[in-house]
Structure formats: structure tokens, C-alpha cells
Amino acid sequence: MRQSLGISVPRQSLGTSKGGYRIYWMRRQSLGISVPRQSLGTSKGGYRTYWMRRQSLGISVPRQSLGTSKGGYRIYWMRRQSLGISVPRQSLGTSKGGYRTYWMRRQSLGISVPRQSLGTSKGGYRIYWMRRQSLGISVPRQSLGTSKGGYRTYWMRRQSLGISVPRQSLGTSKGGYRIYWMRRQSLGISVPRQSLGTSKGGYRTYWMRRQSLGISVPRQSLGTSNL
């Protein structure tokens, strides 16, 4: 084949009664990995050839470690511009042994968080993916006033900044924090709710408009009875 390379393998090693050789052709921009058939749990001898995909990398993982009765290996292919993270299945709270592979998305980063910290009975880890041009903030679930432990992840929007405000200061019975997001090209001013004449404690956030400035004026000076 054009731009291909032929590999000659003895026929006897392929478990055939005929002697001689068989030619395996490497595909364009691909690499062939030869694995013994016996290690694949098959009665036939010889080798099986796995082809690496374009711009991809093949990872060979023992089948026994995957909790399967068949011996040999399984090939995991890394996706284009992606990275595979192998996590032990036992740590995922599954009865099957071996590993599970998580693939990182393009231009993304995976954060591994213990499942126990998420308040689940299953052990192991959960993968959180950071969005493009975003940053994830992990907040303890207990601080959010929930019975479940662990963490909740808040994602910062593009060109935005998240401000964490204690929930108690917002006059809510639930503890923890609430996230306020600053708008694009805007600045948020936090004003105590008590000063606004409301029964609820905490703060209210006023957002400055684009290329504008907000001035805070006391209500008393506006002739209102509410403080």
C-alpha cells in the first residue's frame, strides 16, 4: 500500500498448519501492536494485531485486572487531543476489579473528588470536568446546609467572577454560602439588608451597569420611614 509498511509474521506463530509467512500492512499514520493470541484467552496460537488510530495512542490493560474471566489484554485508545485517566474499579465501589478509564475533554481538566466526601455510600472517585475558560470552585456541602457530606462545584462563567457570601448573613436558616456572579464589565456592590428596612438579615447586591457608576443613598434622606 502507498505510504505503508508490511510486516512479515511466521504462519506457524499464527496457529496455522501451513508454513511460511503472512504479511500485515500498517495503515497510513498508524502503528500496529502485535499481541499473542494465547494471552487473549483463545485456543489459537499466534498473534493478533491492534492498530493505533490516527493521532491516537493505545494503552494495553490486562483483562484479568478488568475482572473478566478471559485472559490477555484489552486495548484502550486515547482520543484526539485527549488524555485518559485510569481509576481502579475497586475504588469506584464496584465488585468488578480492574480499571475504568476517564477521558479528559478537549481543553478541559478533570478534577477527581472522593465519592465518600460526596456523601454517597459508594467508594471511589467522581470526576468533575472544568469547562472551557472556566474555573470550578468546590464548596463543602455541609456548609450549604445539606445533610449530605462532600462538595458541590460551582463553575465561574466566562469573564465572570464568583463572590461567596455566607448564607447566615442572608437571613436564611441554612448555613453555608451563596455564590454571586459578577456580570461582564460590571462591579457588584453589596449593601446590608437591614439598612434597606427589610426584616431579613444579610446583604443585597446591586450591580453597576456597563460604564456606569452606582451611588448608594440613605433611605432616610429619601423621606422614608424604613431604615
**Hey, where are the domains in the chain?**
1-77, 157-227
pLDDT recorded at residue 79? 45
Contact 111, 127 (CB under 8 A): yes
Q: How far from the centroid of its chain's Cα atoms is residue 170's Cα?
A: 32
- Higher per-residue confidence, 73 vs 227: 73
pTM for this model (two decimals) = 0.22
% residues pLDDT > 70 (the chain) = 0
Cell of 15: 496457529
Contact 188, 182 (CB under 8 A): yes
The stretch 131-153 carries a mean pLDDT of 53
pLDDT recorded at residue 57? 46
3-state DSSP assignment of residue 69: coil
Contact 22, 34 (CB under 8 A): no
DSSP symbol at 47: E
The kind and range of the H/E element at 84 are strand 84-88
pLDDT recorded at residue 120? 53
The stretch 202-222 carries a mean pLDDT of 48
Q: How confident is the model at residue 12 (pLDDT cuts 50, 70, 90)?
A: low
Q: Please report the DSSP string for 86-107 in residue order.
A: EEESGGGT-SS-SEEEEEPPTT
The stretch 139-153 carries a mean pLDDT of 55
Average pLDDT, the chain: 52
pLDDT recorded at residue 97? 59
What is the C-alpha to C-alpha distance for residues 79 and 58, in angstroms, rounded to an integer? 9
Contact 128, 136 (CB under 8 A): yes
- Is the pLDDT at 123 greater than 60? The verdict is no
* Model confidence pLDDT, tens digit, residues 167-193: 555 555 555 555 555 444 444 555 555
* Model confidence pLDDT, tens digit, residues 39-97: 555 666 666 655 544 444 444 555 554 555 555 555 544 444 444 555 555 555 555 65
68's CB contacts (< 8 A; 6+ apart) are: 98
The stretch 129-152 carries a mean pLDDT of 52
pLDDT recorded at residue 138? 54
What is the C-alpha to C-alpha distance for residues 63 and 39, in angstroms, rounded to an integer? 9
Contact 112, 70 (CB under 8 A): no
User: Which range scores top for mean pLDDT: 34-38, 55-59, 122-126, 164-168?
Assistant: 34-38
